Chain A
Amino acid sequence: MAMDMELEMVLRPPQLPMPPYPPKMVTLANGKVMVIRQAVREDVPAILKSVHPCLFIERDYYDVVSARVYGELLAWYRYRVKSEYCLLGQVDGYLVGLVNGRLENEKVGMSYHTLAIDRGLRIGSHLFAAKMEYHMEYLNQDQVLVVAESPIGFRRWMVEYPLIETRIPHELGGGDSWVLTRETYFNAKPRLVVGDRPVPQELMDEAMLDIKFADDDTIRERIAGLKGR
C-alpha cells in the first residue's frame, strides 16, 4: 500500500524522548526468574500474538483490558501515540505479562494497563510496581494517574499502595483517577518494588532473542483455569 508520506508526517506525532527503563530480574514464588525489560517498537507484533487469545476471556475483564492493550500497542506501533512505553515480563523468554502507560506531560504520568498472562504468581504486582518505578525513578515524575478496570486491580493498586482518590478524569474514560505520589511510592517501595540489576547477559539475550509465547489454548487455560474437567 502506497503511503502518502507527506500526510503521514502530519498524522504522526513526534515521539517524546524518554530515558530507558533499565531491565531487572525478579525471582517468582515458583523459583523461576522473570526478566522485566522495556519493549521496543519492533517487539509489538510478537506481543500482540500473546495478547490476542486474552481478547476472548471474560473472566476478570481480561477481554476489556486486552482489547484496549491491543489497540494501544498497535497505535504505538503505527505511530499514533507520542509518549507510550511498554514493559514486558518474560520467563524463559516467554511473555508472561506486560504493563503500559504514557506521559501526560513531563511531571504527570498516565498509567494504562496491566495484563498478567500467567496467574497466581504475583506477576501483575511485580509489573505494576515496575511501571511505577519507571515513572518515579527514571522519568522523575511527580505523580501517576491510575484507574482499575477489575476488582482484582482495585484491590492490588488502590488498596495496597494505597493510592489517593481524585476527581481528575482518566484518559481511559472510566472512573476518576487515583493518584500515586512520590511520597506514596517511596513509602510503599520496600514492600512492593523488588528486583535485581544488572540482568546477566545470557538472560538478557534470551529475553531479547525472540519473544516466545505459549499457544492460545495454554494461555487461555492459564488465565481462566478452565480445566475442562
Chain B
Amino acid sequence: MNKEIAITAYKCKKCGKIHYPFHDRCLECKGREFEKMHPEGDATLLAYTVIFNLPWGFDQRFLILGVAEFENHVKAMGQIKADSVDQLKTGMKVKPSWEPIKKQYGEDVYGLKFEPME
C-alpha cells in the first residue's frame, strides 16, 4: 500500500516562491500568506551522499541520503533506496515514497524515500 507523502510545502501567495520547510515569512518577498501544496509526481536527484558514521539511533552500516526536486518544484531531503552510490548520479529521476525511515521508542518514524528509476 502506497502511503501519501505527508510533506507540506508552502507557496508564497505574493511572489510564488515555493518553500520547504516552512518559513513564517517568504524568503524572497517577506509575504506571510502561503498556499499549502504537496509534492507531486516523480523527482529529480539534486545531491546525494552515503554516510558510514551514523548518528545515534541508526543501526545500519551505511545510509544513502539525497535531496530531490519534485515535478512541482518542491525540494526535499530523503533516504535513497539503493545498494551503493555507484547507482546514482545527479540529475537522475527518482521515485518518491513515504516509508519508515527510522525507529524511535520502538515505533516507526515515517519520511521520504527515493528510489532510482534508471
Contacts and interface: CB of A to CB of B under 8 A. Distances in A.
| Direct A/B contact, Cβ within 8 angstroms | yes
4 contacts: A159-B59, A159-B61, A160-B61, A162-B61
Interface string B44-81: 00000000000000010100000000000000000000
Interface in A143-193: 159-160, 162
Contacts of A162: 61
Interface string B22-64: 0000000000000000000000000000000000000101000
Contacts of B59: 159
Taking residues whose C-beta sits less than 8 angstroms from the other chain, chain A's interface range is under 10
A162 B58 CA distance: 14
Instruction: Describe B's contact surface by its main secondary structure.
Output: loop
Contacts of B61: 159-160, 162
A142 to B, nearest CB: 22
Interface residues of B, number: 2
A159 B53 CA distance: 10
A64 to B, nearest CB: 24
Interface in A107-139: none
A173 to B, nearest CB: 25
Contacts of A160: 61
A159 B56 CA distance: 13
Nearest to A162: B61
3 smallest CB-CB distances across A and B, nearest first, come from A162-B61, A159-B61, A160-B61
A15 B59 CA distance: 40
A119 B91 CA distance: 41
Nearest to A160: B61
A110 to B, nearest CB: 24
A153 to B, nearest CB: 15
Interface in B55-112: 59, 61
Contacts of A159: 59, 61
A167 B59 CA distance: 19
B89 to A, nearest CB: 22
A160 B62 CA distance: 9
A162 B59 CA distance: 10
A160 B61 CA distance: 6
Nearest to B53: A155
Interface string A56-97: 000000000000000000000000000000000000000000
A178 to B, nearest CB: 13
